[in-house]
Amino acid sequence: MKSQRLLYFLIFAILVGLSACKDDGPDFPEVTNDPSITLYASTIHTVQGRGIRIEGNVKDEVGLKSINLNNESWYLDKTISFSTDSLVKDYEMWYDFIVPADSPSSDDQVIITVTNVGDRSVTWHVVVKMDGDFIAPTLAIASPVDGLVLPTVTPNPLDISCTMSDSRRLGYFVVKEENLDFYDSISFESGLTTTYNYQRTLDLPADPAAYDFAFMVADTAGNITSQNIVVKVSADYDKMYLSDIQNEADLTTDLFGVPMLIDKMAPFTFRAKYYADHANTEIKFLPQKSSFSPHCYGVDPNNSNKLINSPSEAMPIVLPEKGYYQIDFNLETMEYEVAQYEPTDKPYRDYVYITDNEDEINAGLYIGELSLVGVGWTDFQNTTGWGWDGPNANKEMTEDPENPYIWSRTEELEGTFELIFDGHHPWGWWTSPFWRFDSKTNPEKTVQNGGDNLSILVPAKANYKIVFDTHLNRAKAVRVP
């Protein structure tokens, strides 16, 4: 009996031992194949100090154990480990890494090693080339200017002129207009061209129409710069601008407001209201904003009672005295009239109400001097938004001593410039009236108690004189020394 019991005990111990050995590790199916990886990019183009992403799909028929990404010279040694409790057979891998700024300019590689649960490993290589190009090419279109209007005549030539350049290599250039069935392209096959001047002349139909020209230039890395230019053939203009400057370069150095948009009253008929801040102010009229060509309207040198459309021959209309003027003209008859007038609307000074009464201040009834309210001032960088940091973000303007409708202030601007005009309040209340703009990014006039907050990018740190005429609803920001 004892021997039988001993036999049972030995058999039980052996079974327990076998069971314990079996639980020492996972019971995997037999592994006979290597893992696989499909890289989404086997070659990556970059430069020192820039991030790269290594990505692909990793698979194994039994289960993945680990993925290792390695480059010793970059101190890269990243291991992605997988749990064996629930085997992963399909994995979308991606890993972001910044190439060290002090790494050599020669090409390099990242070694990817994938190991499955059967300890079978396979290695792949991602080639990293240090020839990345992430700067888009530049495109400067000299002609046509956006908004150009050509007459309904035959022939009707349109000059197309632009310059493109790239910091490394230009790839291709395209200009097209679908309504004209026009398409022209250049492929810079040599890969050595960095600058190119494109010139072409088209003859547009004489019938009234609008044409949308699409320009696009790409470099060899695929960076693209594009721009659309609208050209109209018409006997009339949608918009007209008053210019009180003589130098064409000054048409494009302001942030906004130059030249000045005027009102269209009827087909071919326009009305300009303007303040001459000095005697003998000279003005002309332009249907395009950035150039005196191809159209410039001024006094006909052979008939002072008529206008003429000629950049070279048109004489300025002279406003003899300081003050407000209304100029009406018709582009069919070329007749014009000039009359001086006095505004009758309420100047801003009549809105100003300053009080020491705390209840009135709390109610926002305090209205101070007209102010620039916004962001972009170089001496106040910490503003988080609109007046949002209180009155420190507001810049009180100065009333013109001879014109209560005009207020101005000069500020150094940089970066994103946001603006509305509002009365200063010591605790940052929004007071009425206020003025915003007809457009956030392309402002041409202000809108009282409405409109959009201005938001534009200042091209370079500089001083700008901001002038606002509450009667004309005209604001401008002109660069000054």
Domain limits of the chain? 36-129, 138-233, 241-341, 348-480
Q: What is the pLDDT of residues 277-317, one digit of tens each?
A: 999 999 999 999 999 988 899 999 999 999 999 999 999 99
pLDDT at 21: 45
pLDDT at 25: 52
Please tell me if the domain spanning 36-129 has the same topology as the one spanning 138-233: yes
pLDDT at 165: 96
CATH topology of domain 241-341: Immunoglobulin-like (2.60.40)
Q: Which residues of the chain have pLDDT under 50?
A: 1-3, 6-8, 10, 13-14, 16, 18-23, 383-388
Other CB atoms within a 10 A radius of the CB of residue 88 amount to 15
pLDDT at 227: 97
- From CA 155, how far away is CA 202, in angstroms rounded? 10
pLDDT at 385: 46
Contact yes or no for 394/376 (Cβ under 8 A): no
The architecture of the domain spanning 348-480 is Sandwich (2.60)
CATH number of 36-129: 3.40.1080.10, 2.60.40.10, 3.40.50.300, 3.40.640.10? 2.60.40.10
Asked if omega into 155 is within 30° of 0 (cis), the reply is yes
- From CA 298, how far away is CA 170, in angstroms rounded? 43
- From CA 240, how far away is CA 262, in angstroms rounded? 6
The answer for residues whose C-beta is within 8 angstroms of residue 352's C-beta and 6 or more apart is 367, 368, 369, 423
- From CA 389, how far away is CA 269, in angstroms rounded? 46
Contact yes or no for 283/275 (Cβ under 8 A): no
CATH number of 138-233: 3.10.129.10, 3.40.50.300, 2.60.40.150, 2.60.40.10? 2.60.40.10
Q: What is the pLDDT of residues 179-196, one digit of tens each?
A: 999 999 999 976 688 999
DSSP 347: P
Element (H, E) at 185: strand 182-187
